[in-house]
């Protein structure tokens, strides 16, 4: 496989981090709305708002957007993302934001391994080192044997597995598909399936709930668009370490919004994770400058 130019890698990393930030904002809204409406209405809003946004923005060229070179893969990746979102939303309603994200942060390892096995992506020593260091940081945060490892912890673990598979398929079709085509399919599949399920879980909506549901869809659609674009520009294994930035965001939001105070070991783990990601970022930036 031809190596991706360093300047492109740097832009892809920026887009990936912005995508994770949007997903973290979405998670905050989900955690806030779960006690009000439950998970299913929030999940339905995530995809329905995205579907509406996509339809509005691509209306003049809808016919071309609907056409896909990989319709079966588009449906498969859409189902995987919906399942990942479902498992993670369920976890957010039962455990802390930082804990759920910490378990979910195992997905970069799965992405890196899958990228090497299924996509033939190169695994240089520095990338492997960054993944290993970030994994050590995640283990420091979640500390096997602690209260994080309950049966509920299996929910974000299932989400991580589904999200890794989604990411790999997105990387596979990304260079050949319009970003809006991928957004259209994920929104369409999620909306159709969840619209059949949500009536059984519907709760009367308050003004606050309506606002949160709108934000869930907006942050989710924006984050997914940025991530799809990033994956079309760079290898999944390169971007994998930066998924750990979501752990930094979630702990910060948990502290500020939900008064979830992290302990010393959580802070140490976050610093290790951030250091691994920043190392890769620094290296890619230096290579980009040298290439100019």
Q: What is the pLDDT of residues 186-196, one digit of tens each?
A: 999 999 999 99
Domain count within the chain: 1
Segment 27-55 mean pLDDT? 92
Q: Is residue 240 part of a domain?
A: yes
- Reply yes or no on whether the pLDDT at 90 is more than 90: yes
User: Which has more pLDDT, 261 or 24?
Assistant: 24
Three-state DSSP string of 156-182: HHHHHHHHHHHHHHHHHHHHHCCHHHH
Residue 188 lies in a domain: yes
Q: What is the average pLDDT across 60-64? A: 92
Q: Residue 275 belongs to what domain range?
A: 6-291
Task: Examine residue 67 and state whether it is found in any structural domain, yes or no.
Answer: yes
Q: Could you tell me which residues come within 8 angstroms of residue 175 by beta carbon, excluding any fewer than 6 positions away?
A: 232
* pLDDT, mean over the chain: 85
| Assigned domain for 59 exists | yes
**Positive or negative, the Cα torsion across 281, 283, 289, 292?**
negative
290: its two tokens: 């040298």
Q: What pLDDT band is residue 75 in, cutting at 50, 70 and 90?
A: very high
- Which pLDDT score, from 0 to 100, does residue 285 have? 60
Question: Residue 170's closest CA among 241, 88, 227, 122?
Answer: 227
**Is 1 a member of any domain?**
no
Average pLDDT of span 56-81: 93
Q: pLDDT higher for 80 or 102?
A: 80
In a domain, residue 57? The reply is: yes
The two tokens of residue 198 are 């949500």
> Residue 36: which residues within 8 A CB-CB, separation 6 or more?
203, 206, 208, 209, 212
Given a cut of 80, whether residue 236 has pLDDT beyond it is no
Residue 149 has pLDDT above 70, yes or no: no
At residue 287, the pLDDT reads 60
What would the two tokens of residue 48 be?
């329905």
What's the token pair of residue 117? 């096995």
Give the model's pLDDT for residue 1.
46
Residue 122 lies in a domain: yes
**Mean local confidence (pLDDT), 37-65:** 92
- Tokens 């995205």 correspond to 50
The pLDDT value recorded for residue 140 is: 81
pLDDT value of residue 4: 54
Averaged pLDDT for residues 252-281: 82
The alpha helices in 38-153, defined as continuous H runs, are: 39-58, 62-66, 71-92, 97-104, 107-118, 125-142
Q: Does 211 fall in a domain?
A: yes
Between residues 273 and 214, the one the model is more confident about = 214
First vs last Cα of the chain: how many Å apart? 23
- Name the pLDDT band for 177 (thresholds 50, 70, 90): confident
């Amino acid at each position: 496989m031809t190596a991706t130019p360093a300047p492109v890698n740097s832009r892809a990393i920026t887009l990936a981090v912005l995508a994770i930030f949007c997903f973290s904002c979405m998670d905050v809204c989900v955690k806030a709305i779960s006690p009000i409406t439950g998970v299913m209405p929030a999940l339905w809003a995530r995809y329905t708002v995205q579907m509406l946004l996509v339809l509005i923005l691509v209306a003049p060229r809808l016919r071309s957007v609907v056409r896909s070179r990989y319709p079966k893969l588009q449906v498969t990746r859409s189902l995987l993302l919906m399942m990942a979102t479902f498992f993670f939303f369920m976890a957010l309603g039962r455990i802390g934001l930082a804990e759920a994200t910490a378990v979910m942060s195992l997905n970069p390892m799965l992405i890196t391994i899958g990228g090497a096995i299924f996509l033939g992506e190169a695994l240089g020593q520095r990338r492997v080192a960054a993944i290993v260091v970030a994994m050590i940081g995640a283990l420091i945060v979640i500390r096997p044997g602690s209260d994080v490892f309950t049966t509920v912890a299996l929910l974000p673990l299932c989400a991580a597995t589904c999200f890794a598979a989604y990411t790999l398929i997105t990387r596979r079709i990304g260079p050949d598909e319009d970003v809006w085509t991928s957004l259209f399919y994920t929104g369409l599949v999620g909306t159709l399936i969840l619209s059949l399920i949500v009536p059984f879980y519907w709760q009367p909506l308050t003004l606050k709930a309506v606002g949160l549901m709108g934000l869930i869809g907006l942050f989710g659609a924006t984050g997914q668009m940025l991530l799809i674009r990033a994956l079309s520009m760079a290898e999944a294994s390169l971007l994998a370490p930066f998924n750990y930035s979501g752990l930094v965001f979630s702990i910060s939001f948990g502290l500020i919004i939900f008064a979830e105070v992290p302990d010393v070991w959580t802070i140490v783990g976050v610093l290790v994770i951030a250091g691994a990601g920043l190392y890769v970022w620094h290296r890619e930036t230096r290579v980009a400058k040298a290439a100019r």
